[in-house]
């Protein structure tokens, strides 16, 4: 679990105090800032980049998240920091889910040998990373609380799942997500909604996951269905929904939408939030109530969900997606039970992919 959590409007202003006890003499704090903020956005009065409490030899690095994080990028960032500083006091990720994952991964790679690709899996990481903090600027993925960091490597898209992966500190400041465009906010927000449905409808469900999942679901329903206009209260609630949704899947698992959307993203590079939405749109058979409600949310928020993305693919490409998706065994087992392979056949999965 994350050791320290600060929540509240304006809490970003406490960052200097929060970091002070974690600074080591001569070793800088690295701020990994989402490249979205390089253009000077992120604050009505002062751009976010100018609010970062730099001291000594601290450094800001803009994270390129045009593509979701790759193991090669993680390795390059860690190597750059080792070459320039030897050691660092810590790394602070400020951005969407992609930057959360990059910061976690780079922190681990400062203290573990080899390539991050060698740690994609469960409990392969040997040593704790350097101090790491996460400050989300989009809400929904739950990456701020999870024990993984999803990376695309040479052979697979899989996280470094380990007890060393969670952040030491997170700062949840709803002011930071206020500027997100409605489409992006919706896609990332739906990641949270889908986490709730997959967790609450799954066979791995237990009281821990249920307690958090129900709360996150209620918050998502409030902001995406009951409210008629987006305001500060919505940002406050969506940020807590992401946290609770992440806590829910931490003790259960995701399901059909994620298993299938991983196939899309591996082959086509489809981003996580939008990929989940493309898939969820066609999952009536598995989550009838959740999908009906999802469609009401899409309509109410006037969002476009892309269609026709698989129409020009060949057999080999379908096979690749099916292989990646079928490989997500725990997700299928959570969704469909121990006999999932009898229910979700390759033919059935192919016809599902054809619908996208």
Ligand X SMILES: NC(=O)c1ccc[n+]([C@@H]2O[C@H](COP(=O)([O-])OP(=O)(O)OC[C@H]3O[C@@H](n4cnc5c(N)ncnc54)[C@H](O)[C@@H]3O)[C@@H](O)[C@H]2O)c1
**Considering CB distances under 5 to 8 angstroms, the limit depending on partner class, which of Fe ion, ligand X, none binds residue 68?**
ligand X
**Sole window of 64-72, 74-82, 293-301, 344-352 interacting with ligand X (rule: CB under 6 A):** 64-72
Q: Which is nearer to ligand X, 89 or 252 (CB)?
A: 252
**162 binds ligand X, rule: CB under 6 A:** no
Is residue 88 within 8 Å of residue 28, measured between CB atoms? yes
- Give the nearest distance from C-beta 110 to ligand X in angstroms: 18
- Give the nearest distance from C-beta 193 to Fe ion in angstroms: 10
Q: Which of residues 189-208 bind ligand X (CB under 6 A)?
A: 191
Select from 152, 162, 76 the least CA-distant residue to 121: 162
Q: How far is Cα 52 from Cα 12, in angstroms, rounded to an integer?
A: 9
Q: Which is nearer to Fe ion, 12 or 294 (CB)?
A: 294
By the 10 Å C-beta count (0-12 exposed, 13-18 middle, 19+ buried), 116 is classed as buried
**38 binds ligand X, rule: CB under 6 A:** no
**Considering CB distances under 5 to 8 angstroms, the limit depending on partner class, which of ligand X, Fe ion, none binds residue 270?**
none
Q: Which is nearer to ligand X, 27 or 158 (CB)?
A: 158
User: Hey, how many other C-beta atoms are within 10 angstroms of the C-beta on 230?
Assistant: 16
- Total of chain residues touching ligand X, rule CB under 6 A: 31
**Considering CB distances under 5 to 8 angstroms, the limit depending on partner class, which of Fe ion, ligand X, none binds residue 95?**
ligand X
Which residue carries 């057999």 as its tokens?
Answer: 315
Residues in the chain, how many? 356
Nearest residue to Fe ion, by Cβ distance, number only: 191
Out of 71, 148, 161, 169, the only residue in the binding site for ligand X (CB under 6 A) is 148
Q: How far is Cα 246 from Cα 284, in angstroms, rounded to an integer?
A: 24
Binding mask 88-127 for ligand X (x = CB under 6 A): -------xxxxx-x--------------------------
Q: How far is Cα 289 from Cα 155, in angstroms, rounded to an integer?
A: 36
- Give the nearest distance from C-beta 277 to ligand X in angstroms: 11
- Give the nearest distance from C-beta 270 to ligand X in angstroms: 11
Beta bridge partners of 132: 91
| Assigned token pair, 138 | 């989009």
Q: Which of residues 267-326 bind ligand X (CB under 6 A)?
A: 271-273
Q: Which is nearer to ligand X, 149 or 238 (CB)?
A: 149
Q: Which is nearer to Fe ion, 90 or 213 (CB)?
A: 213
By the 10 Å C-beta count (0-12 exposed, 13-18 middle, 19+ buried), 48 is classed as buried
Whole-Å CA distances, 76 to 3, 83, 90, 149, 155: 28, 10, 17, 16, 18
Q: Is the dihedral of CA 288, 225, 276, 199 positive or negative?
A: negative
**335 binds ligand X, rule: CB under 6 A:** no
**Sole window of 115-123, 175-183, 316-324, 331-339 interacting with ligand X (rule: CB under 6 A):** 175-183
| Assigned token pair, 203 | 């066979």
- Give the nearest distance from C-beta 180 to ligand X in angstroms: 4
Q: How far is Cα 39 from Cα 275, in angstroms, rounded to an integer?
A: 27
Out of 2, 18, 27, 65, the only residue in the binding site for ligand X (CB under 6 A) is 65
**Sole window of 8-16, 123-131, 140-148, 309-317 interacting with ligand X (rule: CB under 6 A):** 140-148
Whole-Å CA distances, 51 to 47, 178, 293: 7, 16, 39
Which residues neighbour 213 within 8 Å (Cβ) at sequence distance 6 or greater?
A: 195, 196, 199, 200, 205, 244, 245, 248, 252
131 membership: H or E segment, kind and range: strand 131-136
Q: Which residues here bind Fe ion, judged by CB under 5 A?
A: 191
**Considering CB distances under 5 to 8 angstroms, the limit depending on partner class, which of ligand X, Fe ion, none binds residue 253?**
none
**137 binds ligand X, rule: CB under 6 A:** yes
32 membership: H or E segment, kind and range: strand 29-34
92 membership: H or E segment, kind and range: strand 90-95
Residues that bind ligand X (CB under 6 A): 34-36, 65, 68-69, 95-99, 101, 137-138, 141-143, 146, 148-150, 177, 179-181, 184, 188, 191, 271-273
């Amino acid at each position: 679990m994350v050791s320290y959590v600060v929540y509240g409007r304006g809490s970003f202003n406490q960052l200097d105090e929060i970091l002070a006890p974690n600074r080591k003499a001569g070793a800088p704090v690295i701020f990994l800032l989402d490249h979205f903020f390089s253009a000077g956005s992120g604050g009505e009065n002062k751009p976010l980049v100018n609010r970062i409490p730099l001291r000594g030899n601290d450094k800001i690095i803009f994270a390129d998240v045009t593509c979701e994080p790759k193991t090669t990028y993680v390795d390059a960032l860690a190597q750059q920091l080792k070459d320039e500083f030897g050691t660092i006091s810590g790394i602070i990720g400020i951005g969407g889910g992609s930057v959360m994952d990059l910061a976690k991964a780079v922190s681990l790679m400062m203290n573990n040998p080899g390539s991050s690709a060698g740690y994609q899996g469960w409990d392969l990481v040997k040593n704790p990373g350097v101090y790491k903090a996460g400050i989300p600027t989009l809400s929904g993925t739950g990456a701020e609380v999870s024990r993984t960091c999803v990376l695309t490597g040479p052979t697979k898209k899989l996280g470094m799942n380990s007890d060393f992966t969670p952040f030491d500190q997170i700062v949840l400041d709803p002011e930071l997500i206020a500027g997100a465009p409605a489409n992006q906010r919706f896609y990332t927000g739906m990641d949270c909604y889908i986490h709730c449905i997959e967790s609450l409808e799954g066979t791995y469900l237990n009281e821990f996951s249920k307690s958090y999942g129900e709360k996150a679901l209620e918050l998502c329903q409030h902001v995406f269905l009951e409210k008629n206009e987006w305001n500060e209260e919505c940002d406050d609630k969506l940020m807590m929904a992401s946290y609770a949704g992440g806590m829910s899947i931490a003790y259960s698992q995701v399901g059909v939408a994620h298993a299938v959307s991983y196939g899309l993203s591996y082959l086509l590079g489809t981003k996580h939030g939008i990929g989940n939405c493309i898939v969820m749109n066609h999952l009536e058979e598995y989550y009838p109530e959740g999908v009906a409600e999802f469609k009401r949310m899409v309509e109410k928020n006037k969002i476009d969900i892309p269609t026709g993305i698989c129409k020009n693919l060949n057999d080999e490409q379908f096979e690749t997606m099916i292989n990646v998706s079928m490989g997500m065994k725990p997700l299928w087992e959570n969704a469909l039970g121990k006999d999932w392979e009898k229910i979700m056949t390759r033919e059935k999965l192919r016809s599902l992919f054809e619908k996208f």
